[in-house]
Amino acid sequence: MTNRVIIDYENDPLVKGPCAIVAYAHRENGKRPAMEYIERLEKPDWAKLAKSFTTMAHVGKINNTERFRKLRGKIYEFKVHPKVRVLCFQLGKAWLLTHGFNKETGTTPTRQIERAEEIMNEHISLLE
């Protein structure tokens, strides 16, 4: 028996479309920080994020940098103005949401990008 988390985002996605899957990244402790953040959002912000997730799943990209952009390395962010941010990374055809936060400054804080990288690395290590 193993203590590893079983990750099955193919069959338990947030959104699944012909071009991509949007799902939650898992931490080694089994938590999904993005899910915890998104579940606390106000309905209008959740609806805007859901629209972006659905576009990504069905079209495979979001060209509007006001809604989605690359931050650093493999880390990207979904954006809902003015404050809501959900960071993610791509693994195959899946976009895995690492965590969310309310942006307070003009740029995404480095510590948030580092947190996303840490969650990404944990998630990938669970797949090995």
For the chain, the structural domain boundaries read: 15-127
Classify domain 15-127 by CATH number. Answer: 3.30.2310.20
Q: What is the pLDDT of residues 55-96, one digit of tens each?
A: 999 999 999 999 999 999 999 999 998 899 999 999 999 999
pLDDT of 3 > 50? The answer is no
pLDDT at 128: 78
81 Cβ partners below 8 Å, 6+ apart?
Answer: 66
- Residue 80, sorted as left (phi over 0), alpha (psi -120 to 50) or beta, turns out to be beta
pLDDT band at 116 (very low <50, low <70, confident <90, very high): very high
* Residue 6: per-residue pLDDT: 46
Region 105-110: mean pLDDT is 88
Please say if the pLDDT value at position 7 is more than 60: no
Confidence (pTM): 0.90
* pLDDT at residue 12, as a whole number: 58
pLDDT of 10-62, one tens digit each? 555 789 999 999 999 999 998 999 999 999 999 999 999 999 999 999 999 99
Partners of 69 in the beta sheet?
A: 77
